[in-house]
Every structure is written in structure tokens, then in C-alpha cells.
Amino acid sequence: MKERLIELQNDALKQIQESNDLKQLNEIRVSYLGKKGPITEVLKGMGSLPAEERPLIGAVANEVRAEIQNSLEEKIQKLEEAKVAEQLANETIDVTLPGSQVPSGNRHPLSLIVEEIEDLFIGMGYEIAEGPEVEQDYYNFEALNLPKGHPARDMQDSFYITDEVLLRTHTSPVQARTMEANKDKGPIRIICPGKVYRRDDDDATHSHQFTQIEGLVIDENIKLSDLKGTLQLFAKKLFGEDREIRLRPSFFPFTEPSVEMDISCMMCGGSGCGTCKGTGWIEILGAGMVHPNVLEMAGYDSKKYRGFAFGMGPERIAMLKYGVDDIRHFYTNDLRFLKQFKRANR
Amino acid sequence: MLVSYKWLEKYVDLDGISPYDLAEKITRSGIEVESVNVLNKDIKNVVVGHVLLREQHPEADKLSRCQVDVGEENPVQIICGARNVATGQKVVVAKVGAVLPGNFKIKKAKLRGEVSEGMICSLEELGIESRVIAKEFSEGIFVLPSDAPVGTDAMEYLEFADAVLELGLTPNRSDCLSMFGVAYEVAAILGKKVRLPNSTIVHGLDNTNDLISVEVETKKENPLYIAKMVRNVKVKRSPLWLESRLMKAGIRPLNNIVDITNYILLEYGQPLHAFDYSKLDNKKIVVRYATKGEKLTTLDGIERSLKTTDLVITDGDQPIALAGVMGGANTEVDNSTVDVLLESAIFDRLTVRMTSKETGLRSESSARFEKGLDYKRTKDAVLEAAFMMQEYAEGEVSEGLVIVNNVTNTQEDIITTSTDRVNNILGTNIKTEEIRDILDRLGFDYVLQDDINFAITIPTRRGDITIEVDIVEEIGRIYGYDAIPATLPTGKTLTGRLTEKQKLRRLTKDVLERTGLSEAITYSLTSQDKVKLFNLYETELSPVRLAMPMSEERSTLRLSLLPHLLDVALYNRNRKEENISIYEIGSVYLPNPSSVQPTEILHLSGLLSGLYTDNSWKGEKKKVDFFVMKGILENLFAELCVNNVISYKATNIEGLHPGRTAGIYANETLIGFMGQLHPDVEKTYNGKETYVFEISFSELTSLNFEQNKYSVIPRFPAMARDIALVVDKKVSHSDLITVIENIGKPLLKDVKLFDIYEGDKLPEGKKSMAYSLVYMDPERTLTDEEVVKVHTKVLSALESELGAVLRA
């Protein structure tokens, strides 16, 4: 009888081993372990056995059942795992295919430059002041120490609308207006970005419309060294910590002393290259101490207050920073151009 | 201003300072040296030669065969193509092995069978601009004086072994429009002394005062007029050194008399004019304004009709010169001139400027008058010119000067400052001793009190220094800006931040960019045709136009941003980019009858065309349509927290599709529009299905936006009811929503359109609109009965007000 049970076990295990199908395995379970299965059949014949052998055979039968049961479960688990594995394998994708496009546009490179400069000076306590682009001759010139007939007016040939109204040639009138509007005539710290216009034929380096950013600080006891320190900070933040600056004396009717600021060339580090025309230095902006006449015209007491002002062109800065070779790109709006500039590395 | 290093050396010791070093020092001290041109940099082996014999080339009509002594054992044979070569001339010879500008190497050659060992040079071949070469030599070789030493370095002999510094002068530094001025500047920079020339005139027998009288009617415009006679001059070529200096300064030599006046202009900065005395009918000079209808033929041969604002020099009857600008042909010095009347004068800057501007005559003279002159040099200049005419034109200088002097302010300015003030303005720690040294170097006299207070006398040559900060700048720039420390402003701390509107502008850009639009910046000036398109504003006034536009294309200030965005679209389409999503925030300029300036209104415009997203490989392509654009704007308005006051109404805008255009309203005020471009307009821009919007951004950002406010997160379940309504086609979504929301309040929390159907299954002229309505009470769970009650009310209102029936 024991032999019969062992034989059954071997048969069942063999069948389980050979089966690769869950349904078939279930049939095996039913056929061997079911109430009408051969093991039950064998056990029915146990009555013919001597009493002392019965428990022995019972134990063998239980072992055989357990063995078959375990084997079945093992096999089923194996098959299920294989099934899942097959399904996952079938679901494999080419992860190198392109991701779905999400609509996204770009900031104009000039805006990137302007906003970066704004943020830099906001951090130093400046506010952003704006003013009209169509300006009165008074604010554009006269209030800035450029009376009618002043030779420096030639430096910026202008688009007049009437004798007294023109498209502003710089953002400096915003300074004049801010100073004039400041009722208590106290301290001022402003940055004035905006569009300006000059009578130039558009070419690779000239544009009849361009952008300017001016800064103005008015307070008691402002010194030329404060201007130098401010510009140095600005240059290092905008162009990199290893930039050096130098000031050269210059002339603007609205500042005295007037300076131009050069930075050490970011291309060659100052050893001389094509960008800096071999000098190692690149001119970035004009600046100076606010002319006493300008303060007085705006109602400030020039004995008590002094100030400094500086002005720069974002186009020029963008051209230097990004290597843009033609100023017209900023106004043509070729999408292949606009899509090149990202905010992360502005 | 072009400054010859060699010439400058006559006035200042430049020993040990190369032209490049000098240029760097000048630039760092305030005058930008724009270029340094070393004239003999690329030239080697060029000598003085003597043409011993010139013959016709046996084989070529246009060539000469010359035997030239170049200082070597035997003369060399040179074939020369210049027409003016002749036996006996001293010439410039580039020998075999010589190098000329442009790396032009001279080799032994055979020209039409004849050996040629070198080249006889023109000045142009030596790198001199043809416009400054004397006319007689501008087409051929340059002929040297007969005493030129054969075989010596010709560049040295021509004084071209020199460097020319080009100064870029700012308008305030007109003092450096003269060699003397540059000398003072360089001396101050280098800490050297200026050496001025010292000339002695041997006077002739007669007196200028007996020969000419001067009347000045316009004393204000001509405060100083000095006349001087030089008689019996020989008009001829100037000495070579003088011609050379003029050429290096950019002036073409003409004859000794004219050259000397130009030389003095360069040296003193004082323009002079030489009249041919014999051509002055009345022996009299009268300075006055031109009268109406008066004419003058200037030295350039052009007859000019004078204006009554033009100052003229007359001989009592006729104009003989345009004061400060150009002389007249009727009194021109020529080869037969014997007696010369020299004029040295000061004319009003603005008067000269206006005449020069209106006639288009910009001369070396007018440039100097316009900037203002040092009246202290007017007399010295004419005396030096007379001396030079004595030396180089064999002239006899008449004694005396005719001077009409109405200079009112002859006092030199005295400016006071102190060591403390200087340091306070510059942020430096300069010592009194250093300031004294700097003032000495500048050549400024001063009185020092208490070892701290300065009273500084400003020389008349420095008309640009008028107030204390001017002198502080002088001290600072000579001290050196590199030595100024870098500090930051102290004083009251101010809050730096963006204004609300500036924040909203940045937010708008962010929102639009993350919904796919790129920022464009276009020109504010447009054409008179384009300015008429897409106007948001109805106005009778004409758009703002420039008085003198450079072109019709950029003549008028824009009233809409769209025309230029359409140009951008066309530009990109022409370069095969069909998918365009762009926006711009910029001003339009609305004429304002109550102000001299137009009203500037910030606008926001956008243009979308082609694909909005393109994932073709997944079979997904989303084309731009009206609702893509509307979604972008709704998203923006939501971000700006103004969605609740914005509404849309079908409208008509010229240039847009009549059935696909909406007015955008804020609280019932039109603030913008959006729509599809009219197909006819699309065609002119090479496009298909272009959608545009234009909104007054000033208005949009002036709206009261909803404040952020917490509302309780609902704890009780909501109940949704879906309805499909059959309505007339003309009933709009907005009509239906308005009724649903009005009646459904307050339990109705949300309503969403989820389907639209128009077609066979519905009667003609009908459509089905399906909505999902969500009811909720934040305080408790709604019962079915409560929802049914309000929902029924909604349905019956829809039926009674809009004829909407539930679709079966």
C-alpha cells in the first residue's frame, strides 16, 4: 500500500513538473487530492490493513498529500511569476523616445538682461521708475543741463514730433522727473529701464530703437567712490566675480565728474582679443556724479545733496554676454533666435 | 583731432614715451585715443632718389624709362607709369627689397622688355589718404624739394617716420582742438612743462591801420575782430615739413598762404582767414548779418543764397565770407596774390553752428567756432601767421593790428575749493601737497590759504571749467581714478521692490511663456498705413507722426502692437517656421488733445498660428484654434485674479473673421479683443488660421483683483446632475450658464459644459448642450429632495427664459 502511495506521489510530481498551465495544474490537484482521487481510493482500502500498520500508512498518505500540495503551489507561483514577467516584457517601451511636448515660450533676451539688472539693484534698495517714451524737450535735454544749442545735443540726434516734444533719446528724463516729483527732496535710489530712440540707420551695430537702463542715487554725502563701489559690485554680479573694472574720465552734460566704465574682457580675461580689440578692456557704461545744475533744476539743494547716475545699454550687454553679432536680431524676432535664451543661465 | 607725435614733441618733452604709451596715458586721463597710426610701420627701404634721365619707354607709350640715383654706386633703371615724372626731379624711391603698406614687396622686374629695379612712389603708395595729398600730386608721383639728400630714408625726410594719434574729443574738451591745448593736456598728464614757440617779426614800413578799416555791426555775435596785413608775398608751395604736418592732421596742402592759416588753426585752435587785399574794393571790412536776397559764392564754387541769420564779412558792399564757415571766391588768395589781409576773429558759437548746419558746410573752422575759442589766442595767432608768411612766403609784415574788441567778460574765473571738499566729493584722501602738484601740472594758478583752501584761476583756454566740481574732476582725473577706493553709499536704507503693476507685468510674462508664447519686442514706429489697423480706440485725432521721419516705414507712433506681430509671423513663415506663438507687452501712443504728449497705454498682444503642440510620433498634433487662444487668456486672467469680472461678447473688428471675434470686457468696459484673422488678411501674411489678441494691459492691471482668501475645504459630499439641453443655435453658452448660475445659487457649486451636438438627430436650427451641475452645502450633507428641488427650478428657468428642453 505504501508502495502504491509512493507511486502515486511520483506520478503526480512528474505531471506537475511537466505541466506549464494553471488550468492543467488545477486538474492535477483535483485528480490527485480530490475526494474521488486515487489517494482517497487507496486510503479506503486501509480497512484491510492490520491495526498497527494503519497509523503508519496514514502518516505516509499525509506526507504524500503535503508533498503534492507543496509542489503544486510552488509550480503555480512560478507560472504566475513567469506570466507577470512576460506581461511586463511585452510592455517594454523605448525610453529614449522623445518626451511629449509641453507648450512653453521664452522670455526675450533683452527682458532677461533688464530683469536681472533690476533684481540686482532691487536687492540694493533701488526702486524701478518708469516714464514716458514721448518726452518733452525740457525733461529730455534742458533739465539735464543740455540747453538748446548745446553742442552735446549733436551726440544724440533725435526724432522730434514738434519743437518741444520728441521721442526720448535716453532714459535720463525719468531721473529728472523722479527728482522733480520727489516732494520732500530726500534720498532717491532708482533704476529706470526703457525704450529710447535715436536718428540712426539700422545696421549691425545701430538701431533707431534700443533699450537703456539708468540708475540714480541721491543722498547727502554721496561720493565718486560710492559710484565706483556700486559699479564694481554690479559688474561682478552681472559678468562674473573675476571681472575687474576701471573708470576713465569722460564727459556727459548731466554729470560732473563723468566717467566711463570698462570691465576686463570676459573673453580673454584681459590679455587682449578680438572682442576687446586687443586692449583687454570692454566699455560697458557711462556714469558720473549728478551735475549740480541738474539737482538745482529739479529743486534739490546741491550744497546739501549729491548723487551719482549711470546708464547702460542692455543690447550691448546681451551682445557681449551671449555673443550676439547683430543688434537687429533683437527686433526681428526670428523664433530661432528667441528660443535660444533661457532664464536659468541668463 | 589728429595729433602728430613728432609735432607734439616740439612743445612737450616726450622722451622715453612711445606713441602707444602716450595714447594709453591720454585715454586713462579722460580723452579717448581712438587709434594710433604709425605711418612707417609697414614701410621699409624707401629712399630719396634723383631722376637723372627720363626717357620714353621704347615699347610702351604710357611708361617712362628712368635712370635714378638712389645714393648707390650706380644709378638704377626704373620703369615708371606716372605721367608727371621728369628729368631732374627728386622723388621717393622704393628700392628692390622694399616693402610698402599692404605687404607690397618691390622686386626686380621686367616691364615690356625693360628691366625695372624699384618703384617711384606716390604718397598714396606710402599709405597717405588721397584726399589730403596736394592736388598736383594726387594723380602721380610726389616730387620732393630739389635739395632733398639723395639716398637718405625718404620716410624720415618726409617726416612720415611718425605716429598720428586720433583723439575722440567730447564736446567739453574743445581746448584740445589745438596742438597747444593737447600740449597742455599731455604736459599735465606727464608732469612736464609746455614749450611754446617764440617768434620775432621784422616789420615793414607801412601800418595795417592805414590800409584797412574794420566795422563790426554785430558786436554780440562778433566780439573780437583782428586784421593784419602782409604785403608782397610769393604764393608757392609750403616747405615740406609744413605740408607734412598738415597732411598728418588730415588737411590737404594748397599753397603757402592758405597752408599757414590752416597750420595756425591747428596750432592755436584759432581759425584764420586770408583775403586777397587787391580784391577788396573798398579797403574796408564790415561784419553784419546778411540781408534778404544776398548771395555769396563760397570757396567751393557754390553760389549760396544767404539767410538773414547768417553772419557775413563784407567789403562794405558785397559779402566776401560766411563768417567762421567759409570764405568767398571773390576775395580768394591765388597764385597772383601779392597782398594778404589776415582775419583772426571770434564769432558766436550758435550763429556759426546754425549757418554751418543749414548750409551743410562743416569746416575745420566752423567746428572750432561752434565749440568756443580762447580770445587770448586771437592776437597771438595772427601774429604767428604773419611771422610765418614773412619766413615762408617772403612777405613784408605791416606794422600794427586793427582790433575791434567787444569782449565783455575778460576776467578769468576764480574757483574756490578745499582739500576737504575735493576728498569729500571723490571719496579720496588726497593731501594738499598733491593737489598743489596737480594744479601746477595743469598750469592753473592758485592761492592757498590755511594750507587747505584753494582759490584757483582758470586759464581762458579751459572754458569748460566753470564750477567747483569741474575743478574737482580735473584734480581727480590727474590723480587717477584707479586710486579712488570702491565704497558703497551709506545713509538711509530704502526699500527696493517692484510696484504692483511691475509685478503683474512679470507675472503675465511668466504665465504666457509657460502656456507656450515667446516674448517679442517690435518697433514703436510704424507706417501711416499700418497704424490704421486693429485699433482698440475710436478717435478722430490723427496718429502721432514724426516731424522728420527717416522713412515712411518708421514715421508714425503705433496704436496697436498687432501689425508688427503680423510682420514677425510673416518673417518666420518666410523662413519655414509655421508654428508661431508670440506675445508682446509694449506701449501704444494715443493722441491726446489736452496734452503736448500723447497718452501712452501699455498693451498686451499675441499671435498664434500653426500647431500649438506637436507630438506627431504619438499621433498627437494640436492645432491652434480660437479656444486654444481663449484658454491661454482665461488662464492668464485667472492667474491675475480678474476672471470674475471678465466677459466675452461676439463682435466685429476690421481685419478679423466676422464670426470668430470676441470683445473682451471688464465690468462691461471693452478692454480688448481676440479673434481669427480674416482669411483675406491671412493671405497677405502668407498664413492660414492665425489667431490674435490685443488687450489694454494698463486697464487689465488696473482692475481690482480678488484677494487670496481661505475657504473651508468641503467635508460633505457633492451631488452631480448631468443635463443635455436642446436649444436654438443662437442661444449662447454664456446665456445658458448665466441662467444656471443665477437660479442654482447658492447650492450650485460648479457647472461644466461637457458636450455639444449639432446634427441630423436634432431638428433644424437646434443644438444640444450638455452640462454637469454640481450641488453642495458646506455645512451638511444634501438630501436628494433638496437637490431635486433646486435642479427642477433651474430646468424650468432654462425652459421659460431660453426655450431649453431636456434632450430625451
Instruction: Give per-10-residue mean pLDDT for chain B (808 aa).
Output: 96 95 93 92 92 91 92 92 92 92 90 91 92 90 94 94 94 93 96 87 87 94 95 95 96 96 97 95 94 93 93 94 94 95 94 90 92 91 95 94 88 92 96 96 94 94 93 95 94 85 96 96 96 87 92 95 96 94 97 93 97 90 95 96 92 93 95 95 89 96 88 88 93 93 92 93 92 91 91 94 88
Q: Which residues of A touch B484 (CB under 8 A)?
A: 224-225, 228, 247
Instruction: Calculate the alpha carbon distances from B224 to A58, A99, A308, B322 in Å.
Output: 144, 82, 40, 16
Distance from CA of B754 to the nearest CA of A (A): 24
Note which residues in 205-224 of chain A have CB less than 8 A from chain B. Answer: 208-209, 217, 219-224
pLDDT score of B760: 87
Closest partner CB to B547 (pick from A135, A160, A197): A160
Q: Which residues of B touch A223 (CB under 8 A)?
A: 424-427, 487
Inter-chain contact A108–B612, Cβ cutoff 8 Å?
no
> Does A338 reach chain B within 8 Å, measured CB to CB?
yes
pLDDT score of A155: 56
Query: Which triple of cell numbers denotes residue A344?
Result: 536659468
Inter-chain contact B620–A100, Cβ cutoff 8 Å?
yes
Distance from CA of B655 to the nearest CA of A (A): 23
Note which residues in 90-119 of chain A have CB less than 8 A from chain B. Answer: 97-98, 100-108, 110-111, 115, 118
| CA atoms within 13 Å, Cβ hemisphere of A285 | 23
Residue to test with chain B: of A203, A234, A248, A294, most B Cβ within 10 A: A248
Closest partner CB to A223 (pick from B482, B487, B544): B487
Closest partner CB to A160 (pick from B172, B349, B548): B548
In the block, cell 516705414 appears at B553
Inter-chain contact A134–B498, Cβ cutoff 8 Å?
no
Chain A residue whose CA is closest to B168: A250
What does the alpha-carbon distance between residue A142 and residue A150 come to, in Å, rounded to a whole number?
A: 10
Q: Which residues of A touch B612 (CB under 8 A)?
A: 103
Inter-chain contact A289–B425, Cβ cutoff 8 Å?
yes
Chain B residue whose CA is closest to A136: B597
Inter-chain contact A125–B493, Cβ cutoff 8 Å?
yes
Chain A residue whose CA is closest to B506: A115
Beta-ladder partners of A211: A195
Residue to test with chain A: of B29, B355, B366, B425, most A Cβ within 10 A: B425
Chain A residue whose CA is closest to B516: A104
Chain A residue whose CA is closest to B353: A149
The terminus-to-terminus CA distance of chain A in angstroms comes to 89
Inter-chain contact A134–B544, Cβ cutoff 8 Å?
yes
Give A148: exposed, middle or buried? Use CB within 10 Å, 0-12, 13-18, 19+: exposed
Q: Which residues of A touch B545 (CB under 8 A)?
A: 161
Chain A residue whose CA is closest to B514: A104
What does the alpha-carbon distance between residue A200 and residue A203 come to, in Å, rounded to a whole number?
A: 9
Q: C-alpha A181: how far from its chain's center?
A: 37
pLDDT score of B411: 79
Per-residue pLDDT tens over the stretch A95-127: 999 998 889 999 999 999 999 999 999 999 999
Query: Cβ contacts of residue B702 below 8 Å, gap of 6+?
Result: none
Inter-chain contact B512–A154, Cβ cutoff 8 Å?
no
pLDDT band at A168 (very low <50, low <70, confident <90, very high): very high
Query: Cβ contacts of residue B547 below 8 Å, gap of 6+?
Result: A160, A161, A162
Distance from CA of B470 to the nearest CA of A (A): 6
Q: Which residues of A touch B523 (CB under 8 A)?
A: 208-209, 331
Instruction: Calculate the alpha carbon distances from A90 to A77, A94, A96, A300, B114 in Å.
Output: 20, 12, 17, 80, 91
pLDDT score of B770: 95
Query: Which triple of cell numbers denotes residue B668?
Result: 462691461
Inter-chain contact B489–A333, Cβ cutoff 8 Å?
no
Query: Cβ contacts of residue A133 below 8 Å, gap of 6+?
Result: A167, A168, A194, A195, A196, A197, B524, B587, B589, B600
Inter-chain contact A209–B523, Cβ cutoff 8 Å?
yes
Inter-chain contact B600–A330, Cβ cutoff 8 Å?
no
Q: C-alpha B633: how far from its chain's center?
A: 40
Residue to test with chain A: of B189, B546, B599, most A Cβ within 10 A: B546
Distance from CA of A9 to the nearest CA of B (A): 55
> Does A152 reach chain B within 8 Å, measured CB to CB?
yes
pLDDT band at A346 (very low <50, low <70, confident <90, very high): low
Distance from CA of B342 to the nearest CA of A (A): 28
Chain B residue whose CA is closest to A334: B572
Query: Which triple of cell numbers denotes residue B431?
Result: 593731501
Inter-chain contact A149–B614, Cβ cutoff 8 Å?
no
Chain B residue whose CA is closest to A166: B546
Inter-chain contact B597–A128, Cβ cutoff 8 Å?
no
Chain A residue whose CA is closest to B589: A134
Q: Which residues of B touch A332 (CB under 8 A)?
A: 568, 571
What does the alpha-carbon distance between residue B519 and residue A333 come to, in Å, rounded to a whole number?
A: 9
- pTM for the predicted model, two decimal places: 0.85
Query: Which triple of cell numbers denotes residue B546?
Result: 514724426
> Does A135 reach chain B within 8 Å, measured CB to CB?
yes
Q: C-alpha B467: how far from its chain's center?
A: 29
Inter-chain contact B499–A330, Cβ cutoff 8 Å?
no
Query: Cβ contacts of residue B733 below 8 Å, gap of 6+?
Result: B753, B769
Q: Which residues of B touch A124 (CB under 8 A)?
A: 488, 496
Closest partner CB to A104 (pick from B473, B492, B514): B514
Query: Which triple of cell numbers denotes residue A93?
Result: 517601451
Inter-chain contact A149–B424, Cβ cutoff 8 Å?
no
Closest partner CB to A257 (pick from B353, B469, B486): B469
Residue to test with chain B: of A101, A196, A230, A346, most B Cβ within 10 A: A101
Query: Which triple of cell numbers denotes residue B51?
Result: 631722376
Name the nearest CA neighbour of B588 among A133, A58, A89, A159. Answer: A133
pLDDT score of B804: 92
Note which residues in 160-179 of chain A have CB less than 8 A from chain B. Answer: 160-162, 164-165, 167
Per-residue pLDDT tens over the stretch A151-160: 667 655 899 9
Inter-chain contact A197–B525, Cβ cutoff 8 Å?
yes
With contact defined as beta carbons under 8 Å apart, do B525 and A209 qualify?
yes
Residue to test with chain B: of A203, A207, A225, most B Cβ within 10 A: A225
What does the alpha-carbon distance between residue A251 and residue B474 come to, in Å, rounded to a whole number?
A: 12
pLDDT score of B196: 87
